[in-house]
Amino acid sequence: MRDYYLETREFWLINLGSQLKNPTLLRIDINVPVVEGKIVENSYRLNIYSDIVRLLSEYTGLVLVAHQGRRGQKDFIPLKQHWIVLRKLLPMDIDIEYIPYQKMFSEETKKKIKSLEPGKVLLLDNIRMMDEETSFKPDNSIYIKFFKGLVNSCVNDAIPVWHRPHTSIMALPYISKTYVGIRSVLELKTLKEVLDNKNVGVSLLMGGAKLAKISYLMNILKWAKGFTGGIPGQLLAYVDGHDLNPVNNKFLERRFPIDVFEDAKALLKKFDVKYPKDFVIIENGEAKEVSLKEISKTDGVIMDIGSETVEWYAQLMETDQIRIRAGPLGVFERGFTNGIKLTKMISGTGLIFLGGDTTAEITMYGLDRMIQNTGGILCVSGGSFLHGMAGENYPSIDMLLELQTPT
């Protein structure tokens, strides 16, 4: 893998007043969890990017490009709610306007972009509504044709989607002088520190709603310890022969195709990946903890890892200088907080949190300041950070390094 932190050095934003040209196209990532059609407003990503917008807009008018969810999924919604939250987070002297999808590439919007000045911001609608977003073709791109000559500088600060060759990031060097965003540089530095210190002991704790890409894990677990919670923890326990009771067994069987079960088996066969020793379940309306051996005798739904697992994982990780959490370990939205307890136990220098859902959990329970003030790092990237840990390249940054000469 390329050393992106060092190779991009000449594309960092280190003098906003001279590097940013009005107007500037800024690709950000404010993709956040959606519950019953409403975004989770108390989101670390929205807080981070509102600070970035606030800073950059002092020097140039901004055109913000972002996405939310994926086509066909419940979280695939317009960005109007995001605009409302950003309006609340930004100071009143910054004028932010929302441009719905139907008007994104109109002459009216073009005029608004031309008239932008510092302190004025346009938030374009969900870019994944655009057909060409997931199929980058520079020779016939509406996106490039619209913005080229219209904006005078670009910033790629959407590191959570860097592992995908999507138009809104791949096209930037074709449009105008492009820089790597401030937040992205910080996370590249964090990634470099992980990769440069493989020999000091690295733990990767994987939670969330799905097993990470198997090819990533096969490369990462050659040098890092693996721990699981959330649905990945249930999946590994199940494929290793444990009966999680009919309710949870059927849930996993409905949720995943056969190849995911085969991937999980392959992972356990090759690596000593840990899964929970106990779980918190809801049975007859009450929460209780049950061991992995006893859960088959219940009919409760798994909601969290258990207390024994918290103690066990923390003990196994205490000798590792780098401890990475990727994804929630339980249903934190409903008050299941054993993942929070584990977080406190493994906090301090070397603790790295990845991704939107995980950081939403931390923000909800007020741990963000504690983590940062005690030496931990909260990242907005999730899958793309694992992508980098696995030694994979970032297509949009490769494109930038290929097409543009340094400042």
Token reading at 241: 């022969």
Bridge-partner residues for 322, per DSSP?
202
Q: How many helices (H) and strands (E) does the chain have?
A: 19, 16
Domain spans in the chain, listed from the N-terminal domain onward = 4-183+393-403, 188-389
Closest CA to 159 of 400, 363, 403: 400
- Give CA separation, 352 vs 177, 196, 240, 384, 399, in Å: 32, 15, 28, 14, 28
d(CA 90, CA 86): 6
Q: Tell the CATH topology of 4-183+393-403.
A: Rossmann fold (3.40.50)
Mean pLDDT by 10 residues, the chain (407 residues): 94 97 98 91 91 98 97 96 98 98 98 98 98 96 98 98 98 98 98 96 95 94 97 98 98 96 97 98 96 97 98 97 95 92 94 82 85 93 96 97 83
* C-alpha Rg value of the chain to the nearest Å: 22
pTM of this structure: 0.95
pLDDT at res. 355: 81
pLDDT at res. 357: 64
What is the homologous superfamily of the domain 188-389 according to CATH?
Phosphoglycerate kinase, N-terminal domain (3.40.50.1260)
Coil, helix or strand at residue 63? strand
Which residue type sits at 295?
I
Decide if 4-183+393-403 and 188-389 have a common fold: yes
Report DSSP letters for 289-352, one per residue: EEETTTGGG--PEEEEE-HHHHHHHHHHHTT-SEEEEES-SS-GGGT--HHHHHHHHT-STTEE
Which residue type sits at 166?
H
